[in-house]
Amino acid sequence: MRQLVILAGGKGTRIKKYFNVPKLLLKVYGKPLLYWHIRLAEKYRFKKILLITGYKSDFIENYLKKFNTTIKIELFKEDILEGTGGALLKSYNYLDKSFMLTYGDVLSNINLNNFYKYHLKKKADVTVFTHPNDHPGSSDIVIKKSNDRIVKILKYPHNRKFYPNLAISASFCINKNFINKEKFYKNKKTDFVKDILSKNLDHKIFSYQSIDFIKDCGQKKRLVKINKNLNILFQVKNFTNKNKCIFLDMDGTIVHEIGHLNHYKKLKFYSNIANSIRKINESNFLCVLVTNKPVIARGECSLQMLNKIFCNLENYLSSSSGYLDKIYFCPHHPEKGFKNEIKNLKISCNCRKPKKGLIIKAKNEMNINLSNSWMIGDTTTDIKLGKSTGMKTILLNTGFKGEDNKFKVKPDYNFNNFNAAINYILRKHDHK
């Protein structure tokens, strides 16, 4: 991909009362956001940047006069601001056959090569960069199939009780033929996500879920928070680096063990779980849930209800700005004879803990170094899984307390609860 398109025409109504510059010139670590956009484009060898400007465009033009880069930078200036979608449609003749689109008020360190390779692999019309975040309630959220095809976009503010924490993050790979100017252009304010993407999901639109860094700087408090942490742009957690991870069991570990959880209303969380998971998010560890859900195979819980259970869990965590980087679950069960069982799920699989399948999948998808990672659970099953995959293990004095007696294994550490375990890991082992 050769062209990066940056949308930077808006007035920045959320932040302009604090700063007398266009959003693209807001300073992060002493440099304007535009500086970081250009440097990222140089890193991934883009040949062209199209800047779509509007509000105080002359400020941006004056900055570029002093900027030294080998990338060809073109400006398309909007005289009348017509939203992110309207701006893109009006600049139609400036667009390459395929291009990468980003919003000017985000700071990112995305591996753009991986992003584009995924777009090509899926033969997508549009690929949307998505990730869990600490504020899903104020984000546009995607619902996707198992193959990552987006089937619904939940536009903020949400009017649904259950929604996953998978937010749209203002970066897209787009084929120009998707942008049908005659079809979409209404000569009025148009939002790219709300008015174009969400209304054209019959096209091949995919989610690229990543842990690579991207942050909205369009609010003062977010900009201040980023500027307080000078390492955040180059943080350890991304798909390029080998990551370390804290893997969590679910029942008996972060929620009470009730025996075959089959309804979201039965979820009962241990105290301070959300705060502890937020601490993991703020550390150098990923936070990934791995759980057996044999209630699916046994016919005691539908996949729709399981989705509600996970959504309820994610919403609870987000109340304290915590999130799970990913959820992996096994729906299988090896034993037959249950009244409403799902026969094709009654198998001996490689993903039911303590089998390694879920961990290996997470390792491959998120570039995880298992020798620097941890498994936390309440059963010998969890400890056996951690040991067999080369992780350090913690057994909790909650749930089964290791008294399931399925395997003769000893954990590396024992703690009374999840919070004590996380405090220990982060105090002793959170090194870069």
Element (H, E) at 117: helix 112-122
85 touches 195 (CB < 8 A):
yes
Q: Note the Cα 213 to chain centre separation in Å.
A: 9
Specify the pTM.
Answer: 0.91
For 149, which DSSP code? B
Tokens of 416: 């009374």
Per annotation, catalytic residue among 140, 212, 216, 251: 251
Per annotation, catalytic residue among 195, 212, 249, 382: 249
Task: Look up residue 304 and give its amino acid.
Answer: Q
Distance CA 20, CA 176 (A): 34
Distance CA 127, CA 110 (A): 14
Check residue 232 and give its pLDDT: 66
* Per-run averaged pLDDT (10 residues), the chain, 432 residues: 88 53 85 94 96 90 93 92 89 95 93 96 98 91 95 89 92 93 69 92 96 82 72 72 95 95 96 96 95 96 96 94 97 87 93 98 96 98 98 98 96 98 93 60
Q: Which has the closest alpha carbon to 395: 419, 407, 408, 413? A: 413
Check residue 154 and give its pLDDT: 94
Domains recognised in the chain with CATH numbers: 3-234 (3.90.550.10), 244-429 (3.40.50.1000)
State how far the alpha carbon of 409 is from the alpha carbons of 70, 290, 340, 383, 425, in Å.
59, 19, 34, 7, 21
Q: Which residues contact 391 (CB under 8 A, 6 or more apart)?
A: 247, 370, 371, 373, 374, 375
* Strand 214-216, strand 141-144: pairing: unpaired
Distance CA 3, CA 59 (A): 23
Check residue 18 and give its pLDDT: 41
Tokens of 297: 């195979």
Distance CA 327, CA 247 (A): 10
- Is 412 tagged catalytic? no
Query: What backbone torsions phi and psi does residue 143 show, to the nearest 5 degrees?
Result: -115, 130
Check residue 239 and give its pLDDT: 81
In the chain, helix, strand, coil percent, each to 5?
35, 25, 45
- Is 249 tagged catalytic? yes
User: What is 301-317 written as a DSSP string?
Assistant: S-HHHHHHHHHHHHHHH
Cis peptide upstream of residue 294 (ω within 30 degrees of 0)? no
Element (H, E) at 108: strand 106-108
Check residue 145 and give its pLDDT: 94
Q: Which has the closest alpha carbon to 386: 310, 293, 290, 292? A: 290
Check residue 80 and give its pLDDT: 84
> How many of the other CB atoms lie within 10 Å of CB of 30?
8
Query: What backbone torsions phi and psi does residue 307 show, to the nearest 5 degrees?
Result: -60, -40
User: What is 242-261 written as a DSSP string?
Assistant: PBEEEEE--BTTTB---SS-
Q: Which has the closest alpha carbon to 71: 55, 91, 53, 48? A: 48
